[in-house]
Each structure stands twice: as structure tokens, then as C-alpha cells.
Amino acid sequence: MAATILDGKAFAAKVRERVAGHVARLRQDHGITPGLAVVLVGEDPASQVYVRSKGKQTGEAGMNSYEHRLDADTSEADLLALIAQLNADPEVHGILVQLPLPDHLDSDLVINSIDPAKDVDGFHISNVGLLGTGQKSMVPCTPLGCLMLLRDHHGSLSGMNAVVLGRSNIVGKPMAQLLLGDSCTVTIAHSRTKDLPEVCRRADILVAAVGRPEMVPGDWVKPGATVIDVGINRIDAGEGKTRLVGDCDFASCSEVAGAITPVPGGVGPMTIACLLANTTTACCRANGLEEPA
Ligand code: NDP
């Protein structure tokens, strides 16, 4: 039987609608408008697309969007000075520094200079530690979006075997923490994992975040499992065209899985929706107001 398609595009639209409602109430009842500052250093084409899309959706949700585009050769001191300015600005509730940064900039240093309360990407070491210890934190947007899709589909995830393929700080590790927080039995697999197909076949929930086009074939998937494909890979489609594919081979995986996210239209749209939700949460916390559910 063909898998249920987990429609991240439709789900993300609902999340954005909920955020917009909350933003409207914040303005009406308290005269506050959540503000998101996005900092882009350099000209990376994919980053430019993401930043444009973030700015557009922030505006559509009724929030203030502040874009800071800096030259690729911006010094670390200048970037840190901008972040200090944004940290101190009461109109800015969320700060996002678009990664990757040019090589001469120390990403860890830059991310850790953001006020953790405004770190809407959830990458600051304080938020990583809070998440790891089950305390209230800012949760990284992509894994949070995956968790929302999983909870929506399954209800409780308790006791399920989850395999996270990939151990990056921005996707794999926080995804594993979130699944553990929801009482899954979690395995984190990576490039040195032995018997990867066998490990994947044990998963009731398989999250693929490797950045390798269509790496996971259908015979790595346990029949009926839920497959969350985080990968966004642009490949050659012939005749000078390109197309986006995930880290899973959709055609074969969707024949075996019980449910699967498509690429595009799965996890991708959830990421920005969660960014907007995190910014609204940060705004509420900064003003001592009740947080959105
Ligand atoms: P990274 O390159 O930082 O991490 C990739 C991980 O995959 C590493 O842990 C690596 O293992 C592992 N890996 C690579 N090759 C293999 C292999 N052959 N077998 C097993 N494991 C392997 O990537 P990200 O986590 O940043 O991103 C992953 C994917 O998700 C990318 O396609 C990216 O574009 C996409 N993405 C999508 C987002 C969205 O909004 N939907 C947001 C962020 C990312 P090791 O550590 O051993 O090297």
C-alpha cells in the first residue's frame, strides 16, 4: 500500500496562520510587534533565497523583519558589534545569523554571542544545554518542524524506535534530543555507522539528514515505518535543468513506508514556520506574556 504523504506545506500554512493570529493579538492587546533580525554575510545563493523567503513570511505573519546584509569580507569585530546592537534592541526579539558563514568567521563564536533569549535558531550553547537537560529552551527550527509532523501523524511517539541518520549540530543531534524527550528509543547513525541498512530497518521512525541525494533506498525502510526526509539536494535533471530531491529515494521508500515527507513540500516549509513561532515565543518571554501553545 502506498505511504501516507505528510504534507509539510499544508501543515506549515496552518502553523503560520496560528502565529499570525497570536501576533495580531499581541499588537491589539499589548501594542507589541514581534521582530526578527536576519543577518546574512556574503553572497551564498542558497542563503540569499532562504533569507528572502524568511523576510517575506515574517512580514506576512504581521511581524517586523530586519535584514542585515553584510559583505563577504566583513570582519569578525564588525559582525560581533552588529549582534551586540541587536541584542540590546528591544524591538528585536529574534536574531538569526544565516549559516554557513564565510571561512574567516568563527561560527561558534558568532552564534554564542547572540543573547540566548533571542537565539531563535536554538544553536547557542545555552539553548543546546537546556534542550539536552529537558529544560525550557529555544528549539532548532528544522528538528522542531519534524517533531510537529510526527506528533501530528502519530499522537504519542512513546516507545517507538527512532533512527536519526546524521549527527550535525543543527539537525541530527537536536532531532535525537527531541525524540528522546518524547520517549522514543533513539539511535544516531552517521558516516562511521556499521551495517547502516540494518540499523535503518529497525526504525519505526527514520529521520534522514545526511545531505546525500536519494541515499536511502526503500529496502532500508521497515514496512510501515514513518520516514522524515530532511535532505534538500539540487541535482541535475538533464537538458540544463535541475530539481530538488531528498536524502531518501522517494519512489522506493514510499512503497514500503507507512508515511513519508516529500521533497520539496515536507520538512522545508516547516522550518520557516517554526522560526516564526520561535520568534513569537521569544517576544512573549521577553515581555512576560503567556507563550503560544
Ligand atoms: P551536515 O553535512 O552537517 O551533516 C550530515 C551528516 O550526515 C553528518 O553527521 C554525516 O556523518 C552524515 N553522513 C554523511 N554521509 C553519510 C553516509 N554516507 N552515511 C551515513 N551518514 C552520513 O548536514 P546537515 O545536518 O546540515 O544537513 C543535512 C541535510 O538536511 C542536507 O541535505 C541539508 O540541505 C538539509 N537541511 C534541510 C533543512 C530544511 O529546512 N529542510 C535545514 C537544514 C538542513 P559524519 O558526522 O560522520 O560526517
Task: Output the domain CATH number for residue 50.
Answer: 3.40.50.10860
Q: How far, CA to CA in Å, does 271 sit from each of 12, 147, 218, 266, 290? A: 8, 11, 25, 10, 23
Question: Catalytic residue at 98?
Answer: yes
Question: Catalytic residue at 121?
Answer: yes
Residue 122 belongs to some domain of the structure? no
Active-site hit among 57, 118, 119, 121: 121
SS3 of the chain: helix, strand, coil, percent, to 5: 45, 20, 40
Number of domains observed in the structure of the chain: 2
pLDDT in tens, 53-104: 999 999 999 999 999 999 999 999 999 999 999 999 999 999 999 999 999 9
From 65, 81, 115, the end of a domain falls on 115
**60 shares its domain with 169:** no
ipTM score here? 0.99
Ligand 1 contact, 232 CB (< 6 A): yes
Ligand 1 contact, 234 CB (< 6 A): no
Residue labelled with grid coordinates 549527527: 167
CATH of the domain at 174: 3.40.50.720
Bridge partners of residue 233, in order along the sequence: 245
pLDDT attached to residue 292: 85
253 Cα–ligand 1 center, Å: 19
pLDDT in tens, 7-49: 999 999 999 999 999 999 999 999 999 999 999 999 998 899 9
1 Cα–ligand 1 center, Å: 29
Residue 78 belongs to some domain of the structure? yes
**147 shares its domain with 236:** yes
Residue 11 belongs to some domain of the structure? no
**152 shares its domain with 244:** yes
Give the predicted TM-score (pTM) of the model: 0.97
- H or E, element range at 131: helix 125-132
Task: Find out whether 264 and 8 touch, Cβ atoms under 8 Å.
Answer: no
> What's the domain range around 71?
32-115
